[in-house]
């Protein structure tokens, strides 16, 4: 009986410890919206610029059509608006926009504003 004890213990450990691996969730996209939220059309991302500048470059996504006088909103990875921008010029896939309100940061997402996002962006400092 003493010889069976280690074998039984080994079998108990092997079968008792077999648990399914927990599925790891995909790393969330920093610009993904919560379920049920309105989707803003992404047009590009703010590129690096001197923070003292009154204009910012926007790298447009392929296929994006941007026009002068178009109002867009930049937002951070938490979907909070960081600035209201007005496009002043477009050359290829780069748009230049004047800062109307707020202060965009490099790599902020730039979207066409929904009504809700427009209202929230009006709280930004001029």
pLDDT-derived band at 117, boundaries 50, 70, 90: confident
- Please report, for residues 60, 76, 116, the alpha-carbon distance to residue 80 in angstroms, rounded to integers and kept in the order given: 20, 6, 11
75 falls within a domain: yes
- Flag whether pLDDT at 13 surpasses 70: no
94 in a structural domain:
yes
The mean pLDDT value of the chain amounts to 84
Has residue 104 been placed in a domain? yes
pLDDT at 118: 87
Q: How far apart are the first and last CA of the chain?
A: 84
Q: Residue 107: which of 42, 43, 46, 44 has the closest Cα?
A: 46
| 100 falls within a domain | yes
Task: Confirm whether 20 is domain-assigned.
Answer: no
Alpha carbons 47 and 41: distance in angstroms, whole number: 18
Q: What is the mean pLDDT of residues 60-73?
A: 94
What is the value of pTM for the model shown?
0.70
Q: What is the mean pLDDT of residues 30-56?
A: 81
3-state percent breakdown (helix, strand, coil) of the chain, nearest 5: 15, 30, 55
Does some domain include residue 54? Answer: yes
CATH number (domain holding residue 113): 2.40.10.170
Q: How many domains does the chain have?
A: 1
Domain span at residue 123?
40-126
- Cβ atoms 77, 65 nearer than 8 A: no
In a domain, 66, yes or no: yes
Q: Environment class of residue 85 by beta-carbon count within 10 Å: exposed (0-12), middle (13-18) or buried (19+)?
A: buried
């Amino acid at each position: 009986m003493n010889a069976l004890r280690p074998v039984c213990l080994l079998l108990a450990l092997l079968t008792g410890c077999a648990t399914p691996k927990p599925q790891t969730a995909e790393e969330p996209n920093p610009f993904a919206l919560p379920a049920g939220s309105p989707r803003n059309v992404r047009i590009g991302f703010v590129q690096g610029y001197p923070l003292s500048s009154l204009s910012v470059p926007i790298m447009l996504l392929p296929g994006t059509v941007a026009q002068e006088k178009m109002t867009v909103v930049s937002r951070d990875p938490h979907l909070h608006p960081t600035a209201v921008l007005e496009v002043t010029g477009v050359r290829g896939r780069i748009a230049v926009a004047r800062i109307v309100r707020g202060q965009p940061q490099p790599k902020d997402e730039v979207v066409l504003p929904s009504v809700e996002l427009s209202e929230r962006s009006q709280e930004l400092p001029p």
